[in-house]
Amino acid sequence: MKKYILALTALALLTACKKEQKKGTEQVTPVAFEQELKNDAGQLIDVRMPKEYNEGHIEGAKNLHIYDQNFQQRLDSLDKDETVYVYCKAGARSAEAVQVMEQKGFKHIVELEGGLDAWNKAGKPVAK
């Protein structure tokens, strides 16, 4: 009985100390987007056209063009339980992508408010 109580106590402590997974969808500024990426790397996707992506993107982003005929299948390759960070040029395409991801059951989505335009205006780094 003593071992059982100790095991339950240990489990309760581990559960209480475990980082709580955020849920839902957030639209955040470039500063907050960058900070959240640092705190929880997650999965970063750029939903712009490949040409736009090649001209400059956020370091570590995977290009999943929203209007590609395989977009939904490519989304299925992502982990729905892990945070997904999404952006486009100005925000319209990422908003569409967020709707699709929500319908597919993604648990936590962080959208860059104003897209890469806002990211660049904030002086944040891009990779080529």
In the predicted model, is pLDDT for residue 12 greater than 80?
no
Whether 88 sits among the annotated catalytic residues: the reply is: yes
The pLDDT tens digits for 37-73 are: 999 989 999 999 999 999 999 999 999 999 999 999 9
Which residues, other chains included, contact 126 with Cβ-Cβ below 8 Å and sequence gap of 6+?
A: 56, 57, 58, 59, 116, 119, 120
The DSSP secondary-structure symbol of 20 reads P
Active-site position among 88, 98, 101, 116: 88
pLDDT band at residue 82 using 50, 70 and 90 as cut-offs: very high
For the entire predicted model, the pTM comes to: 0.82
